[in-house]
Amino acid sequence: MKTVKFLSLIAIFVCFMSCSSDDDEVLKDDPVAGLSLVTSFEANGHTVELYSESSNFTTGYNEISVRIKEAASDRYFSNAEIGWMPVMHMADKEHSCPKSEVALTENETVSKGFLIFQMPGNAEEYWSLTLNYRLGGVTYEADGRLEVNPSLDGKQKISVFKGNDDARYVLAMVDPEKPGVKINDFKAVLYKMEDMMNFSVAEYYKITVDPRMPGMDNHSSPNNEDLTYNAASRMYSGKLSLTMTGYWKINLKLLNADGDVIKGEDVTEENPESSLYFEVEF
């Protein structure tokens, strides 16, 4: 009896030790834990893997992690230098979209950046991505198609528009990803369209913020903060106050550095909404 008790204690102890150390290793060894493998491209004896927080790409802001694997050995390369070029192939034209650099993360097998898709693909029109990457002094190219879906909840998280200055802009919401009844951190990116293939970060503009609930007498909320440019992140940040759950239209107005209105209108009794806006529903 005593021996049995002793053995089972040992068994429990061994299991406890090995189970807990396994968990630690999984956490330490998996730099893409919590991300989904959305798609991968095969080229040059390599597999280029694209990961995202959600299981597919959608219109608007998409954070993407990239890993490159040697197909034969299943081993990931370290310190790849990666560049990328997204192109949408439409019936009558091709165009690109705003994109970040692809930068190495703390884990040297993972690089990260973002792409901002203006529109989803469809049966005839699709997005492709070309990656140029350098490994050990050699340059390679890989490409493939990307499936880009409309935003999951059907709400507007990106606006593509022509300003009063005749320039074309892309404004996309980055945060809140998961809005709550609170004062949310509000983040957005603004790009100027130089031509069909080139977009530059539009710096030092200002975006005023006026969230409203159209279903409830178009009431607003207190303590919002306008979006201002942050030179370190190259994004715009402010505060979005949501006082209850439901559908909110976040009315926006884009002003240049001189304070001229480039796009959008004030919300008044006569004018219930701005022509520049995002939407959230939660």
Binding window for Cu ion (CB under 5 A); candidates: 56-64, 115-123, 159-167, 249-257 = 115-123
Binding window for Cu ion (CB under 5 A); candidates: 2-10, 87-95, 185-193, 216-224 = 87-95
Q: Residue 142: which residues within 8 A CB-CB, separation 6 or more?
A: 41, 42, 43, 44, 46, 48, 130, 131, 133
Q: Does 90 bind Cu ion (CB under 5 A)?
A: yes
Q: Does 97 bind Cu ion (CB under 5 A)?
A: no
Give the residue at shortest CB distance from Cu ion. Answer: 88
Q: How far apart are CA 71 and CA 45, in angstroms?
A: 6
- Per-residue tokens: 130: 């070309």
Residue from 43, 119, 160, 255 in contact with Cu ion (CB under 5 A)? 119
Could you tell me the smallest distance in angstroms from the CB atom of residue 233 to Cu ion?
A: 27
> Cβ closer to Cu ion: 59 or 251?
59
Q: Does 160 bind Cu ion (CB under 5 A)?
A: no
Could you tell me the smallest distance in angstroms from the CB atom of residue 120 to Cu ion?
A: 9
Q: In degrees rounded to 5, what are phi and psi of residue 81? A: -100, 120
Residues β-bridged to residue 89: 94, 126
Nearest alpha-carbon partner for 160 in 208, 196, 131: 196
Could you tell me the smallest distance in angstroms from the CB atom of residue 72 to Cu ion?
A: 37
Residue from 88, 146, 173, 276 in contact with Cu ion (CB under 5 A)? 88
Q: 130-150 burial, b for 16+ CB within 10 Å, e for fewer?
A: ebebebeeeebebbbebebee
Longest dimension (CA), the chain: 88
Total of chain residues touching Cu ion, rule CB under 5 A: 3
Binding site for Cu ion (CB under 5 A): 88, 90, 119
